[in-house]
Amino acid sequence: MSLQLPDFPWDTLAAAKELAQQHPDRIVDLSVGTPVDPTPRVLRDALSAASDAPGYPQVWGTPDLRESVSTWFARRRHATGVDPDGVMPTVGSKELVAWLPTLLGLGRGDTVAFPSVAYPTYDVGARLAGADPRPMANLLELGPHSPRLLWLNTPSNPTGQVLGVEHLRKVVDWARSRGVVVASDECYAELTWDGTDSAPSILDDRVCAGSHDGLLAVYSLSKQSNLAGYRAAFVAGDAALVDRLVQVRKHAGMIVPWPVQRVLRAALGDDDHVQEQKKRYAARRALLRPALESAGWRIDHSEAGLYLWATADEPCRETVDRLAQRGILVAPGDFYGVAGARHVRIALTATDERIDAAVARLTDR
């Protein structure tokens, strides 16, 4: 069997990185979304308190972990009906994104649809299953053809676009009328910049009319809790679909380690560390965004999440090179699909000191 996976796009950024590294005051690397602030003490304590773990953990997650996910959805996401039976922890969310089509039994002849400007792993997941990847700007593009699985990503990586309740409700109605499973990847939902507590979930009561049939919300604590290194995430929604995932993953040994399950539970019960981190990112964003705008850039969407989706109205690789000359590395929009070819993605995940350096370099004419 031949598997056609895309080239790993970061390799194409090597020359720009080398150039940026030559800056006398060092590189400001805003090309990746990896958290840089310390993992909150409360979560490190939860990890060490759970270090005695001689037995195998449960693939499905402990009942109290699944309960805490359900409570978090009700408290933070306007989703009151999340059934703890329809919750499962995952080893970070990237693996679930990559394996979901396979775990759901999709294969040759099936279509997996996802946004035309998107995190690349939706495409990879379709290919791993042998299904057809179908990027689309909107549902109308699909015409009469129904995918088996539709990915949403709200707030979006890379654009920061948030899908509102109305929009999500229409997507759910459309998907239900065609028997399409909707998986909504929502890992930036608490990082909103428009004054709201969080972006709407696919499981929001106003979106799904109280039924989670055919719906999955995919969530990760990597960003909001500074623990990408722990691999702590979960999926929630349709209990029958989640049961299928649990059964396959039991056979495949895809289990979240017990100490990480305890951290997940602790993190979901503590809003303070998330608010603290949100404030840090808000401060960095408040510096970086006007600096870009005063340098003549336009910022599109970017109403939530950890990125500024910026354009200088030129091909993205030219923008990348111009910034690299100033010692700033950003991700070209073409990493996320051809429709992103005139944008760059600028991450807020750098220390205050590095953000200050970027601002100084952008505003120095």
Interacting residues with ligand PLP (CB under 6 A): 33, 92-94, 97, 119, 153, 157, 185, 187, 220, 222, 228, 233
Greatest Cα-to-Cα distance within the chain, rounded to the nearest angstrom: 61
**DSSP codes, 141-157:** GGTT---SEEEEESS-T
The residues, ordered by sequence, that sit 6+ positions from 346 with a Cβ below 8 Å of its Cβ are: 30, 288, 292, 307, 308, 309, 310, 330, 331
Choose between 198 and 222: whose C-beta lies nearer to ligand PLP.
Answer: 222
Shortest distance, position 149 Cβ to ligand PLP, whole Å: 15
Give 132's strand partners. 111
Choose between 329 and 359: whose C-beta lies nearer to ligand PLP.
Answer: 329
Shortest distance, position 171 Cβ to ligand PLP, whole Å: 17
Choose between 171 and 291: whose C-beta lies nearer to ligand PLP.
Answer: 171
Choose between 68 and 220: whose C-beta lies nearer to ligand PLP.
Answer: 220
Choose between 97 and 175: whose C-beta lies nearer to ligand PLP.
Answer: 97
Shortest distance, position 181 Cβ to ligand PLP, whole Å: 17
Shortest distance, position 234 Cβ to ligand PLP, whole Å: 10
Choose between 291 and 302: whose C-beta lies nearer to ligand PLP.
Answer: 302
Map tokens 């991450």 to a residue. 347
Shortest distance, position 101 Cβ to ligand PLP, whole Å: 15
Ordered strands of the 307-311 beta sheet: 298-300, 307-311, 344-347, 331-332
Contact between 358 and 289 under an 8 Å Cβ cutoff? The reply is no
Amino acid at 179: G
Shortest distance, position 111 Cβ to ligand PLP, whole Å: 20
- Rounded CA-CA distance 303/365 in Å is 28
- Per DSSP bridges, beta strands 181-185 and 232-237 are unpaired
